[in-house]
């Protein structure tokens, strides 16, 4: 399943990276301006696509009875790297394995033990698998940060994502603001009242956990994620229909 990282998906990833335990779909929905069902549906899509591959606790093992954490920097033959990485994870005490695209030092293995003897035992087991241990380092702290480019802008941001097509046409995916002129209108009425400019076509509506094929009778609601085709370049006046008037 292929999932494109539009602005809504980026904000979901940012929020879950920041604090997945204490972040709910309604919280993200309120921040982004879509429904909680849309957020839950998007999270499921991101999980199914393997973009979100899991949720993990960040454990301070030093605070847990003074346990030791060690990073083993190792080299595996390139053709054996994936297999050895998988086997390394089966060793008791190994909590993380990272593969690198390199010929040397291409596996980093993070291990936890009660004492130095336990750490040394893990090192011997790694070597027995066929890994060449290049270095080992005691880990003092391990800190994580959400990916800031996926985070919120400091000013109001309408969630939109542009794709240019041949012939000068453009497609944009955007979220309808709460007080946008088109909110509450059918597409037919929006065209009749010139809220939608000529040459602008709404081709899909994502609402909650469904993607709708619009007709003239389709009513646009705040929080809808629309895919819009313009027979020409999108301008500020084109986008005015979908945005809150802040002038």
Read out DSSP for 90-153? TSTTEEEEEE-SSSSS-EEEEEEESSHHHHHHHHHHHHHHT-EEEEEEE---------GGGS--
Condensed to tens digits (0 to 9), the pLDDT of residues 136-193 reads: 999 988 888 899 889 887 544 555 555 555 667 888 888 888 889 999 999 999 999 9
Condensed to tens digits (0 to 9), the pLDDT of residues 76-122 reads: 999 999 999 999 999 999 999 999 998 899 999 999 999 999 999 99
**CATH code at 71?**
3.30.70.920
The answer to whether residue 112 is domain-embedded is yes
Contacts of 154 (CB under 8 A, 6+ apart): none
- Rounded Cα–Cα distance for residues 130 and 132 (Å): 7
The answer to whether residue 111 is domain-embedded is yes
Measure the CA angle with vertex 187, ends 184 and 192; round to 5°. Answer: 105
- Rounded Cα–Cα distance for residues 135 and 124 (Å): 13
3-state class of 211 per DSSP?
Answer: strand
- DSSP conformation class of 41: H
The answer to whether residue 68 is domain-embedded is yes
- DSSP conformation class of 33: T
Domain that holds residue 46: 7-56
The answer to whether residue 155 is domain-embedded is no
**CATH code at 213?**
3.30.70.1450
Does residue 85 share a domain with residue 133?
yes
Confidence of residue 7 (pLDDT cuts 50, 70, 90): confident
Confidence of residue 247 (pLDDT cuts 50, 70, 90): very low
Torsion angles phi and psi, residue 124, rounded to 5: -65, -40
| Whole-prediction pTM | 0.69
């Amino acid at each position: 399943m292929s999932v494109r990282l539009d602005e809504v998906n980026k904000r979901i990833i940012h929020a879950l990276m920041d604090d997945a335990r204490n972040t709910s779909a309604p919280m993200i929905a309120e921040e982004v301006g879509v429904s909680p069902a849309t957020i839950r549906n998007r999270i499921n899509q991101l999980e199914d696509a393997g973009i979100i591959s899991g949720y993990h606790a960040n454990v301070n093992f030093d605070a847990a009875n003074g346990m030791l954490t060690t990073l083993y920097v190792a080299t595996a033959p390139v053709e054996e790297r994936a297999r050895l990485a998988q086997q390394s994870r089966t060793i008791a005490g190994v909590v993380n394995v990272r593969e690198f695209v390199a010929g040397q030092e291409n596996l980093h293995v993070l291990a936890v033990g009660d004492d130095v003897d336990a750490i040394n035992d893990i090192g011997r087991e790694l070597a027995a698998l066929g890994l060449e241990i290049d270095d080992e380092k005691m880990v003092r702290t391990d800190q994580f940060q959400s990916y800031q480019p996926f985070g919120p802008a400091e000013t109001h941001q309408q969630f939109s994502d542009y794709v240019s097509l041949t012939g000068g046409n453009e497609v944009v995916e955007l979220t309808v603001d709460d007080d946008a002129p088109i909110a509450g209108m059918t597409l037919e009425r929006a065209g009749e009242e010139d809220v939608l400019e000529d040459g602008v076509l709404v081709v899909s509506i994502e609402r909650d956990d469904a993607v709708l094929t619009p007709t003239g009778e389709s009513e646009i609601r705040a929080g809808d994620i629309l895919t819009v085709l313009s027979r020409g370049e999108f301008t500020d006046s084109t986008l005015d229909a979908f945005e809150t008037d802040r002038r």
